[in-house]
A and B are shown apart, each in its own frame.
Chain A
Amino acid sequence: MEIPLKASPSLSYQNLSYGDGKFVYLHNTEVHLLNVVTKETSSILVKDKTFQAKVCNLNGGTVLVLTTQSGTQFWDLGKEKHMFTVGHDEEGSFLSRGLAASGSAVFVGHALGTISMLEVKGDNGSIVKTLGEHKDAITDIASGILGGQPIIASADMAGAIIIRDQQGTAIAKLASPAGDTVTSLAITPCHVVAAFGSGKICLYTSNGKKAVEICAHSRWINSIDYCASTNVLASVSEDMLLQFWKMPTNSDPKVGMKGSKMLKDCLLTGVKFLDDGSKVGCIAYDTDKFFLYDA
């Protein structure tokens, strides 16, 4: 199904998020929404340039988190209403990249390689820690359950991937290929999944070892998303393909290719499953259509 959009998506990594029945994406530095049920589009008025928008599960609820030029903003996605802002604490933060939430914490990556860990309680938040293991600009941050434990994974422009616990403490550094760009991360129960500019998707164990390498796409991968309900990973790339992969489990360690769809003339820039995995949405740079498919 193709749904008309009023504002076209921009070309960036992981430019699609979903929650409370709405898909969220960026058009330049503006935040735009698509209600998947009514097919209505809207935008939220943010008084600052927005560099990232992500729907996060925070303290058991769904919150839209934005990283903007001046700070991290928290929005009630259902009401499309601003709740509060936590200001950045360092120069260079305005080029933020990488955003994830775990428990009551939000992790925001920055251009100088640091990650701000924000603690959110009720309608307030503050920066409680600055994580400095990365030496280069952050490209993505993901959160999930790996081996039964909540973890955060972060990647930077040099290709380094670090796994942390929910308190932000580094647990392992992954052996990612030199010279390849990590564009997006996902976490499955068994692996940290990293997508690369080379078109490869690699699966890493919790102790930092590469377990699987998929030569998945012929061009830059811009986004991946994992659906726990169906154990399927979706990937979208500038080769114009949306692909679906069965992820390994403890009982079945093999990757399976589940399907592939070509979207003609589309530089795909975001992919996101609905919560139950029944459908997947994806968007392409500079197009006025949203693509919604059965997964």
Chain B
Amino acid sequence: MSLLSMPFLVTNLGGEMIFILEQRLHAQNIPKEKSNKVLQDVSRAMFSQKFVTELIKPQEIYSQSATREIFDRLAHSSIMRLSESSMDKLYDLMTMGFKYQLVSCTHPRELVEVTLNHLDSIRASVESSPPTAELIDSAIAQIVKLCQEISNTEFALIRQTLAKNFQGKHIKVSLFLQDGIQSPDGTIVLTPGGPIMNEPTVEAPGTIRYFDDGGAVTETATFSYQLADCIGPRKTGDPYDPATRDSKLGKNIYTVDRAKKKVAPKAAKAPVSTAAASTTSAQKMKEMKGVAVSELNGLRELLGAPVQDNAFKIGNLFGGDGDDGAAGEARDIVISKMTRDEMMATNKALVDVMNSMDIGDTDSGDKDLLGLMDDAIA
């Protein structure tokens, strides 16, 4: 189990949430100005300096219910209000999206590219608000710095820890079924082979080398690797440069026309040095002694209470637009839900903290918006 999973869990799930909200708000004919405000408000909450700093501290991964609670609060950190049904579907799509990306990584370090793809796309979505874009830039810098400190071994542990969180989720998503990345039984389709990871220790399979005691190669043999035809050339891109980044996982699959998306900000300049990257688990373990329990509450304290004034309600985020090509409704939902009493009992500390929070700053909204929304979802 890794103590560094939370930033990747929240950032990537958050990225999926932004993508889906953007597409659904468009599909619901929400005015662009209001839609932008929702996305900016959610992004500001998700990537506030304090929240990101708290997120990257070593800590145990949150439970599924606690993670859901965070995203409930994030979704409602704007003037948008979602019905419980819409929030359920939104969260299902978010988790299935990130689960697909997670299991499709051909190497644990590809998680860096997935995360940065999400962050770059989020930044593009909020570019009309320079202060919000600045917050994303700051978050990107913090995440990049963190990624450079994490070894491949730790990334593998992070991926295993995240994978446990998504175990058992097989919700069928119409978009995934259409794109062929999910089977009719809900299994995520994995693509064999692919390009070789740009890591010095990774080679294409098929060679056997024999060494003498001095370490010199005395003989080289070959064997037939079953998937040899699926292996592509070595990746050459820089994971920290969106222009050359190899992985497409984590990019917005819900946009209709990706070509029109603005170019992401220039690459973070920090070089990648996998050989020098030291493992941090043991050191992080020592640092987090005795603080785990108190830190668990830290993230929730920083999210603030839901905005109350001028909120607009969306009764069915996923219905009524006649276009099932993008973020379509899940045809099959198999969710083990906790009852509210079970959730309250399990997360008593969280609930107590949320109940004690002051209402954060709110922007004044358009009082006609509620009326507009009521018409849109009729």
Q: Could you tell me which A residues sit within 8 Å of B by CB distance?
A: 8, 10-12, 27-28, 51, 91-92, 95, 111-113, 135-137, 139, 157-159, 175, 177-181, 183, 196-200, 205, 207, 209-220, 238-241, 243, 253-255, 257, 260, 262, 264-267, 285-287
Check A179/B201 contact, CB under 8 A, given A157-B154, A285-B163.
yes
Contact across chains for B281 and A136 when beta carbons are under 8 A apart:
yes
How far is it, in angstroms, between the C-alpha of A253 and the C-alpha of B285 when the chains are bound? 43
Name the interface residues of B323-352: CB closer than 8 Å to any CB of A: none
Name the interface residues of B240-289: CB closer than 8 Å to any CB of A: 274-275, 278-279, 281-282, 285-286, 289
Check A91/B282 contact, CB under 8 A, given A197-B108, A240-B190, A286-B167.
no
Top 4 closest pairs, chain A to chain B, by CB? A257-B223, A198-B201, A181-B153, A11-B163
Which among B76-84, B121-129, B131-139, B210-218 touches the partner chain?
A: B210-218
How far is it, in angstroms, between the C-alpha of A158 and the C-alpha of B279 when the chains are bound? 7
How far is it, in angstroms, between the C-alpha of A28 and the C-alpha of B154 when the chains are bound? 18
Indicate with 1 or 0, residue by residue over B188-214, a CB within 8 angstroms of chain A CB atoms.
Answer: 111011101001111111111111010
**Chain A residue, CB-CB nearest to B196:** A218
Contact across chains for A200 and B193 when beta carbons are under 8 A apart:
no
Contact across chains for B192 and A199 when beta carbons are under 8 A apart:
no
Name the interface residues of B149-201: CB closer than 8 Å to any CB of A: 151-154, 156, 159-160, 163-164, 166-168, 183, 187-190, 192-194, 196, 199-201
- Contact for A157 among B208, B223, B279, CB less than 8 A: B279
How far is it, in angstroms, between the C-alpha of A158 and the C-alpha of B264 when the chains are bound? 35
Contact across chains for B213 and A209 when beta carbons are under 8 A apart:
yes
- Contact for A265 among B183, B194, B282, CB less than 8 A: B183
B304 smallest CB distance to A (angstroms):
32
How far is it, in angstroms, between the C-alpha of A234 and the C-alpha of B206 when the chains are bound? 16
Q: Which residues of chain A come closer than 8 Å to B203, judged between CB atoms?
A: 198-200, 215
**Chain B residue, CB-CB nearest to A285:** B163
- Contact for A267 among B1, B190, B199, B275, CB less than 8 A: B190
Contact across chains for A112 and B286 when beta carbons are under 8 A apart:
yes
Q: Which residues of chain B come closer than 8 Å to A257, judged between CB atoms?
A: 223-224
B96 smallest CB distance to A (angstroms):
12
The reply on B227 being an interface residue by CB < 8 A is yes
Q: Which residues of chain A come closer than 8 Å to B68, judged between CB atoms?
A: none
How far is it, in angstroms, between the C-alpha of A207 and the C-alpha of B164 when the chains are bound? 39
The reply on B107 being an interface residue by CB < 8 A is yes
Q: Which residues of chain A come closer than 8 Å to B231, judged between CB atoms?
A: 218
Q: Which residues of chain A come closer than 8 Å to B164, judged between CB atoms?
A: 10-11, 28
Contact across chains for B213 and A179 when beta carbons are under 8 A apart:
no
Contact across chains for B205 and A286 when beta carbons are under 8 A apart:
no
Q: Which residues of chain B come closer than 8 Å to A177, judged between CB atoms?
A: 201
Name the interface residues of B212-241: CB closer than 8 Å to any CB of A: 213, 215, 221, 223-227, 231
How far is it, in angstroms, between the C-alpha of A139 and the C-alpha of B226 when the chains are bound? 28
How far is it, in angstroms, between the C-alpha of A233 and the C-alpha of B152 when the chains are bound? 25
**Chain B residue, CB-CB nearest to A181:** B153
Contact across chains for A254 and B221 when beta carbons are under 8 A apart:
yes
Extra contacts, 5 of them, besides A158-B151, A205-B213, A212-B209 (Cβ < 8 A), are A197-B201, A199-B203, A211-B211, A212-B210, A241-B226
How far is it, in angstroms, between the C-alpha of A285 and the C-alpha of B166 when the chains are bound? 11
- Contact for A198 among B166, B193, B199, B289, CB less than 8 A: B199
Q: Which residues of chain B come closer than 8 Å to A51, judged between CB atoms?
A: 1
B interface residues, tally (CB under 8 Å): 57
Contact across chains for A215 and B167 when beta carbons are under 8 A apart:
no
Check A196/B211 contact, CB under 8 A, given A179-B152, A267-B190.
no
Contact across chains for B153 and A139 when beta carbons are under 8 A apart:
yes
- Contact for B282 among A137, A209, A243, A264, CB less than 8 A: A137
Contact across chains for B106 and A219 when beta carbons are under 8 A apart:
yes
Contact across chains for A262 and B192 when beta carbons are under 8 A apart:
yes
Name the interface residues of B293-313: CB closer than 8 Å to any CB of A: none
Q: Which residues of chain B come closer than 8 Å to A219, judged between CB atoms?
A: 106-107
A230 smallest CB distance to B (angstroms):
18
Check A112/B204 contact, CB under 8 A, given A210-B211, A240-B192, A262-B227.
no
How far is it, in angstroms, between the C-alpha of A199 and the C-alpha of B201 when the chains are bound? 9
Contact across chains for B103 and A215 when beta carbons are under 8 A apart:
no
Contact across chains for B103 and A216 when beta carbons are under 8 A apart:
no
Q: Which residues of chain A come closer than 8 Å to B202, judged between CB atoms?
A: 198-199
Q: Which residues of chain B come closer than 8 Å to A159, judged between CB atoms?
A: 153
Contact across chains for A179 and B167 when beta carbons are under 8 A apart:
no
Contact across chains for A111 and B167 when beta carbons are under 8 A apart:
no
Contact across chains for A285 and B279 when beta carbons are under 8 A apart:
no
Contact across chains for B107 and A285 when beta carbons are under 8 A apart:
no
Contact across chains for B205 and A215 when beta carbons are under 8 A apart:
yes
**10 A-B pairs, CB-CB below 8 angstroms?**
A10-B160, A10-B164, A10-B167, A27-B167, A179-B200, A196-B201, A209-B213, A240-B227, A285-B103, A285-B167
How far is it, in angstroms, between the C-alpha of A215 and the C-alpha of B83 when the chains are bound? 52
How far is it, in angstroms, between the C-alpha of A264 and the C-alpha of B159 when the chains are bound? 20
**Chain A residue, CB-CB nearest to B165:** A28
Indicate with 1 or 0, residue by residue over B314-327, a CB within 8 angstroms of chain A CB atoms.
Answer: 00000000000000
Check A179/B159 contact, CB under 8 A, given A198-B202, A212-B209.
no
Q: Which residues of chain A come closer than 8 Å to B227, judged between CB atoms?
A: 218, 239-241, 262
Q: Which residues of chain B come closer than 8 Å to A198, judged between CB atoms?
A: 199, 201-203
- Contact for A95 among B156, B275, B285, CB less than 8 A: B285
Q: Which residues of chain B come closer than 8 Å to A260, judged between CB atoms?
A: 225-226
How far is it, in angstroms, between the C-alpha of A27 and the C-alpha of B278 when the chains are bound? 30
How far is it, in angstroms, between the C-alpha of A252 and the C-alpha of B210 when the chains are bound? 13
Contact across chains for B211 and A213 when beta carbons are under 8 A apart:
yes
Most buried by B among A10, A179, A207, A238: A179
Q: Which residues of chain A come closer than 8 Å to B151, judged between CB atoms?
A: 157-158, 181
**Chain B residue, CB-CB nearest to A255:** B208
Q: Which residues of chain B come closer than 8 Å to A197, judged between CB atoms?
A: 107-108, 152-153, 156, 201
Contact across chains for B282 and A112 when beta carbons are under 8 A apart:
yes
**Chain A residue, CB-CB nearest to B99:** A286
